């Protein structure tokens, strides 16, 4: 079971509208679409730390999703406006990112999730600790943006 603390001040949020093509025959968002909503928030979080895909590649590294867990709480429906919030839980050995999806249209939490990103070199060698150039960007987030 996923039990998360409330998002810290350093969390990053994106707001989305559920498109028609994401709903299933039960008229709710099919569970297989949740990872792309998480990806939107994760991308915004990484960009806020200058760690978007191109930035990481320029440093000589790559991120890969190693694990993903989602706990569904309430359904989302076509046209719902949702907020997906992402924040770092751990960054030393891997990037553990927590998420909360809230329904702005109907109120309440829709889901909580966790993903784990591992870092490799450009050649594909797994880094067992987060490389210092990445940690420097995570630490340099500025006031109110600390991990």
- The per-residue pLDDT for range 22-38, each reduced to its tens digit, is 999 999 999 999 999 99
- Domain ranges, residue 81: 12-139
65 found inside a domain: yes
For 138, phi then psi, to 5°, come to -65, -40
For the chain, report the end-to-end CA distance as a whole number of angstroms. Answer: 24
Given a contact cutoff of 8 angstroms between Cβ atoms, the answer to whether 111 and 34 are in contact is: yes
- pLDDT more than 70, % of the chain: 95
Give the chain's domain count.
1
Three-state DSSP class for residue 132 = helix
Euclidean distance between CA atoms 144 and 7, whole angstroms: 13
Mean pLDDT of all residues in 2-15: 90
42 found inside a domain: yes
Euclidean distance between CA atoms 4 and 81, whole angstroms: 22
47 found inside a domain: yes
Q: Name the pLDDT band for 137 (thresholds 50, 70, 90).
A: very high
7 found inside a domain: no
Which residues are registered as beta bridge partners of 15? 83
Q: Please tell me whether the overall predicted TM-score, pTM, comes out greater than 0.75 for this model.
A: yes
Instruction: Looking at 1-147, list the stretches that DSSP marks H as alpha helix, in order from N- to C-terminal side.
Output: 34-48, 53-58, 132-139
145 found inside a domain: no
**Domain CATH code at residue 132:** 3.10.129.10
């Amino acid at each position: 079971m996923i039990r998360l603390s409330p998002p810290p001040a350093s969390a990053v949020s994106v707001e989305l509208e559920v498109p028609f093509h994401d709903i299933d025959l039960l008229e709710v968002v099919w569970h297989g679409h949740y990872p792309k909503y998480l990806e939107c928030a994760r991308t915004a979080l990484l960009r806020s730390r200058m760690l978007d895909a191109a930035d990481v590649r320029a440093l000589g590294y790559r991120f890969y999703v190693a694990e993903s867990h989602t706990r569904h709480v309430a359904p989302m429906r076509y046209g719902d406006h949702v907020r997906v919030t992402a924040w770092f839980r751990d960054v030393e050995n891997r990037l553990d990112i927590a998420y909360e999806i809230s329904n702005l249209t109907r109120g309440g939490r829709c889901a909580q999730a966790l993903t784990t990103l591992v870092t490799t070199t450009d050649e594909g060698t797994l880094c067992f600790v987060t490389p210092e150039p990445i940690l420097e960007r995570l630490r340099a987030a500025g006031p109110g943006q600390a991990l």
